[in-house]
Amino acid sequence: MAELPSNQLCPDEHPFTNTGSDCFGPFLVKHERSTVKRWAAIFTCLTSRAVQLEVIDTMEQDSFVNGIRHFFARREPIKRMWSNNGTNIVAMERELREALQRFNEGEIRDTLSIRGIEWNFHPPHTSHFDA
């Protein structure tokens, strides 16, 4: 067996310092008198393998942004994230990077807690890839 990557061997850091993320679904959910589709975003701590799920309304960028904001609000500041090259995730990462350039750094840090996050994408078509 190969050695584990260094980002999975950080017992002295807070949970979710190194996080993997992905989206899955859809699930059919009863909303009032109709049935609607909902998806979920999964966030996995790469050290302890703890998991947090966030419900997202659509597979669009805005829904994923809301899910990740909720995740950031509940966890310690995240240092590194890994995800696949899903179009909604790539668009969200680009939007956050551009927001850092447009706005005051202190304002972004205080409202979104995203300062200093290193975002890594798995190579395309590599479902077996582990961060």
* Any domain includes 3: no
* Any domain includes 95: yes
* Any domain includes 72: yes
Question: What are the DSSP calls for 18-69, one per residue?
Answer: EEEEEEEEEEEEEETTEEEEEEEEEEEETTT--EEEEEESSSSHHHHHHHHH
pLDDT tens, position by position, 111-124? 444 456 777 776 66
Structural domain boundaries, residue 109? 13-118
Segment among 11-20, 38-47, 75-84, 105-114 with least mean pLDDT:
105-114
* Any domain includes 74: yes
Q: What is the pLDDT of residue 27?
A: 92
Can you give the CATH number for the domain in which 20 is found?
Answer: 3.30.420.10
Residue 108 pLDDT more than 50? no
Strand pairing report for 80-83 and 118-121: parallel
* Total structural domains within the chain: 1
